[in-house]
Chain A
């Protein structure tokens, strides 16, 4: 399972990285989203993998997962949501101000053709 999750983190990160490096705002936003998936999963994984042991205190519980990374991921999810919202908005503003959706505001040939 550990290998599976590790590879998954890697794949999500790799795809995120590739998309973040694109020239248009929308793929970059998607890339940031994928990156945040990857890093949230990673952060989550630092609490190691436990199945069926949520950190809810009860007498019957056989054990508990590490709750701290979960709390951190929760915070990270919210923050990255806020940031994503902001970038999305910003990409619209860029589109309005720059006339196209290139991250550097270049109008390029394909836009015209």
Chain B
């Protein structure tokens, strides 16, 4: 049994529990170092896992040694490993930022951070629908804790909204999972794939409802229109490292949509073939459009970033909705880009806000900031990344998605929305950039307590990773294309999970 599949879940869980245990026993600096070591280990583990699955093997880990579909399995295919690595990398930089001081305000930052990673990795790796629910709850609750640390009316309100709407979402998840279990009698996602493909026509209505409700839940997590309203405020309300880590949280929803889309709804012979097709693309496009309008309308930088996240999510889901090998490959490349770039943007935004005195992140005039040159350059680069302008990964991803969209019937729509929302994003970022960085009243010097240049290092490093995404786009897109191929031929996944002699087992 290859324990490597399990390690991305185990490492943060153990680390989280340990950090909780030593909360009072060890000084903060030691705990920070422990945390950092754990995340570094996590990155290494994720990398090792990715290398193991690059050749197309699907690694299955049967928890408790119970075979699927009876026990819970963790499944690492290219997609899962990609997501886990992405999470770990993002977490590393978010943590590097946090341990410079912003974690001190929280009573439980260290364990919550690790448990959030536990939830994220678990959600990406699990092959069981109900277990996915559990991990959703883990990562949500961890994120609530992280979101709410520190006070402030805005943060509390955003947190309340975020929590309540997600709780309603959790209820929906249970209704959906229950319905699918009621019809198909199983919870393993690979097993469900087989059962849902060969449904008794009489059960079709229920199964469709279950699947569509599940889609609603995932769409909520992915902040798809019309369920996106929670995102900008929630992301804007939290502290920078947490917001950066949140950048991967919506991707859990995206991941889940991609997973079920390819696993359940892609087989043209299956009973539920094309179930999401009428919805996913239009909603993705509307999300993109509204996101770009929101970005233009924002009066605060972090709200604006939130809306820009929506734009990127729209593009991402467009790529998934197209359902082609190339589009999914493009989407997966873009996913990595947008996650890291968004993370960097949030880290940078706090740096900017802290240098602007009382104006903070509000898009109004403020005294010129110290180190404006460095910040300006970083802002410029991150804006280019986020707006999808050349020459960086954002452009490449967008280009690839559009290229894949070309021979589809909705081409005109996709082109129109993507290009126009891109324009709006440019306008919005030019506006905020010139307000934040160009239009300054004379400098008042460093506000008291503001950090030095070193604070910008994690964001810079994340941008460097994005540059890496650009330079090594070819091998990366080779990988994402292989990932897409693997996703579009789910039989391998299903066989790996259920074993080949599936017919003999069970009932």
Contact = CB atoms under 8 A, between A and B. Distances in A.
Contacts of A42: 174-175, 178
Given A39-B171, A79-B134, A98 B164 contact: no
A90 B163 contact: yes
Interface string A16-33: 100010000100100010
Contacts of B164: 20, 28, 32, 87, 103
B170 A90 contact: no
Interface stretch (B19-27, B146-154, B308-316): B146-154
B246 to A, nearest CB: 17
A89 B45 CA distance: 37
B382 to A, nearest CB: 31
Interface SS of chain B? helix
Contacts of A32: 164, 167-168, 171
B141 interface: yes
Contacts of A25: 160
Contacts, number: 88
B156 interface: yes
B160 A90 contact: yes
A94 interface: yes
Nearest to A105: B157
B174 A43 contact: yes
A4 B187 CA distance: 26
Contacts of A104: 157, 161
Interface in B117-154: 130, 134, 137, 141, 144, 148, 151-153
Contact of A83 (B137, B178, B182): B137
A36 to B, nearest CB: 7
B181 interface: yes
Contacts of A76: 174
A95 to B, nearest CB: 9
A69 B157 contact: no
B130 A94 contact: no
Contact of A93 (B137, B156, B174, B179): B156
Contacts of B397: none
Contacts of B159: 90
Nearest to A103: B160
Contact of A87 (B134, B167, B182): B167
A64 to B, nearest CB: 14
A20 B168 contact: yes
Nearest to B134: A75
A94 B160 contact: yes
Contact of B178 (A46, A98, A105): A46
A97 interface: yes
Interface of A is mostly: helix
B116 to A, nearest CB: 15
B221 to A, nearest CB: 15
Given A25-B160, A90-B159, A69 B181 contact: yes
Interface string B421-444: 000000000000000000000000
Given A72-B130, A83-B141, A97-B151, A39 B156 contact: no
B156 A98 contact: yes
B397 to A, nearest CB: 36
A90 B134 contact: no
Contact of A105 (B153, B175, B177, B179): B153
Nearest to B174: A39
Given A20-B164, A42-B174, A86-B141, A97 B182 contact: no
A42 B181 CA distance: 11
Interface in A78-108: 79-80, 82-83, 86-87, 90-91, 93-94, 97-98, 103-105
Residue among B134, B164, B170, B187 with max Cβ neighbours from chain A (10 Å): B164
A21 to B, nearest CB: 10
B170 A83 contact: yes
B157 A98 contact: yes
Nearest to B144: A86
B434 to A, nearest CB: 32
Interface string A42-64: 11011000000000000000000
A43 B160 contact: no
A97 B158 CA distance: 12
Nearest to B179: A46
A69 B177 CA distance: 10
Contact of A103 (B152, B161, B174): B161
A97 B179 contact: no
A35 B167 CA distance: 10
B391 to A, nearest CB: 43
B174 A97 contact: no
Interface string B202-230: 00000000000000000000000000000
Contacts of A68: 181, 187
B396 to A, nearest CB: 40
Contacts of A38: 171
A15 B170 CA distance: 17
Interface of B: 130, 134, 137, 141, 144, 148, 151-153, 156-157, 159-161, 163-164, 167-168, 170-171, 174-175, 177-179, 181-182, 187
13 contacts: A25-B160, A32-B164, A35-B171, A43-B174, A68-B181, A72-B130, A72-B181, A90-B159, A93-B148, A93-B156, A97-B153, A98-B157, A103-B164
Given A42-B174, A97-B152, A105-B157, 19 more contacts: A16-B171, A20-B168, A32-B167, A35-B168, A42-B178, A43-B174, A43-B178, A46-B178, A46-B179, A46-B182, A72-B181, A76-B174, A82-B141, A90-B160, A93-B156, A94-B157, A104-B157, A104-B161, A105-B156
Which 4 A-B residue pairings sit nearest by Cβ, starting from the closest? Answer: A46-B182, A97-B156, A43-B178, A46-B178
